[in-house]
Amino acid sequence: ERAGVSKSLVSLVLRSSPKVSDKSRQAVDEAIEELGYRPSAMARSLVSRHSGVGGMITSNAHDVFYADVVAGVSSYVNEHSEGIVPLILHGNNNVEEEMLAARRFLELRAEWLMLMGSALTDTTIEGIGRETPTAVIGRWFESDVVDVIVNDDRAGAIMATNHLLDLGHRRIAHITGGGGNGSRTREKYYRRAMEEAGCEPLVVEGTYLQPGGARGARELLDAPGPPPTAIFAANDLAAIGAMDVFRRAGRAVPNDVSIIGYDDIAWAGLEPIDLTTINQPSRQMGETAARLVGKRRDDSNLRGQQVLLEPKLVVRSSTRAI
């Protein structure tokens, strides 16, 4: 009544319908502001059969990399997807917990679902994708049912290894991510770059977390023979863990050992760490995923897409020439 328009027109404005004229929209918006009205998301979802929930599942709550991906998702949703509230659950590197999280989102009738570093099988993911628009971030597989957004780990691993080789290092070790998504690809192309340079690969198992990197570093220090002059860690957290172990053992970084990581998390650029690393465009990955699932939410006939993003070398003070 305050806006001088019908209830049905008010409903169209609240749903951001393009059918409403600018003049009518302005009148309704002004009335809403004067009355201090806030629409009920629950009531709106019951009427529209849309939940307004966007689901995100991370494989590891402790991996800072995923925080940047989530920031990209949130940024895009806030700007382009009015009425969608992104929610996060964690799979904790456990297939059963991840599947339980996915079921919960499906029961909520989530508008879309994003799986970050998923441990689920391709078949299971495609099954989820048939129920709601789904994107997989950080893990490659070909599908026209879900969207896949990944960094080019092949190029990144070669870039990291060649950086150390170009600095004159020949005894270069690799601390793996323990079989996590992208870890085996990084290891494979580290090995290839080393072999092409005529160098012997030296691989120890780690994880994508600091304790895993520290464990790998201790194994390298305890091994017979001279320790490596350089280390390529599977991600930044592992690199930071390795850096701490070498420093505590009295070995300076980079004077005694050069260390390069992978991801370029916010911590990597802090002065006490100042880690040379491979930048994954994590925020762009999140924005791309949000854009693709949003399109398929609006048009169910669209097929899933595969997007391969390029990494970049970021040189800081943790590596040097010998």
Q: Supply the DSSP string of 61-84, one letter for each residue.
A: TT-HHHHHHHHHHHHHHHHH-TT-
Determine the Cα–Cα distance for residues 194 and 191; give it in Å rounded to an integer: 5
Specify the number of domains making up the chain: 3
- Is 75 in the same domain as 162? no
Q: Are 115 and 17 found together in one domain?
A: no
Query: Are 244 and 182 within one domain?
Result: yes
- What confidence tens digit (pLDDT) does each residue in 242-285 have? 999 999 999 999 999 999 999 999 999 999 999 999 999 999 99
CATH number at residue 137: 3.40.50.2300
Q: Are 107 and 214 members of one domain?
A: no
Long-range contacts, 214-218 (Cβ 8 Å, 24+): 214/241, 214/242, 214/244, 214/245, 215/241, 216/175, 216/176, 216/241, 216/242, 217/175, 217/241, 217/242, 217/243, 217/245, 217/246, 218/245
Question: Exposed, middle or buried: residue 213 (CB in 10 Å: 0-12, 13-18, 19+)?
Answer: buried
- CA gap 207, 197 in Å, rounded: 26
> Which of the four pLDDT bands, split at 50, 70 and 90, describes residue 22?
confident
Rounded percentage of the chain residues whose pLDDT exceeds 70: 86
- Residue 227 and residue 125 in one domain: no
Together in a domain, 96 and 162: no
pLDDT in tens, 164-204: 999 999 999 999 999 877 899 999 999 999 999 999 999 99
Is the domain of 129 the same as that of 157? Answer: no
Residue 114 lies in a domain: yes
How confident is the model over 219-249, as pLDDT tens digits?
Answer: 999 999 999 999 999 999 999 999 999 999 9
Please state the rounded mean pLDDT for residues 196-214: 97
In DSSP terms, 233 is beta-bridged to 175
Domain shared by 29 and 177, yes or no: no
- Is residue 218 domain-resident? yes
Are 149 and 289 in contact, with CB atoms under 8 Å apart? yes
Residue 115 near residue 149, CB atoms below 8 Å? no
Counting DSSP H helices and E strands in the chain, the numbers are: 11, 12
Which of 25, 44, 34, 38 has its CA nearest to residue 2?
A: 34
Give a yes or no: residue 92 inside a domain. yes
Examine residue 97 and state whether it is found in any structural domain, yes or no: yes
Strand 277-279 relative to strand 134-137, pairing = unpaired
Q: 317 in a domain, yes or no?
A: no
pLDDT of residue 159: 99
**Alpha-carbon torsion angle 234, 235, 238, 242, nearest 10:** 70
The answer to whether residues 130 and 239 belong to one domain is no
Separation of alpha carbons 320 and 81, rounded Å: 46
**Higher pLDDT residue, 51 or 56?**
56
d(CA 13, CA 121): 42
Domain membership of residue 2 (yes or no) is no
Establish if 320 belongs to a structural domain.
Answer: no
Residues 54 and 115 in one domain: yes
Q: Are the C-beta atoms of 260 and 160 separated by less than 8 Å?
A: yes
Taking the C-alpha atoms of residue 32 and residue 28, their distance in angstroms, rounded to an integer, is: 6
The per-residue pLDDT for 23 is: 72
Q: Which domain holds residue 91?
A: 50-152+281-310
For residues 192 and 111, state if they share a domain: no
Same domain? For 225 and 208 the reply is yes
Residue 47 — pLDDT band, cuts 50, 70, 90? very low
Q: What is the pLDDT of residue 83?
A: 76
| 165 assigned to some structural domain | yes
pLDDT category, 41, cuts 50, 70, 90? very low
- φ/ψ region of 52 (left if φ > 0, alpha if ψ in -120 to 50, else beta) reads left
Q: How much is the pTM?
A: 0.83
From CA 320, how far away is CA 317, in angstroms rounded?
7
**E strand or H helix at 116:** strand 112-116
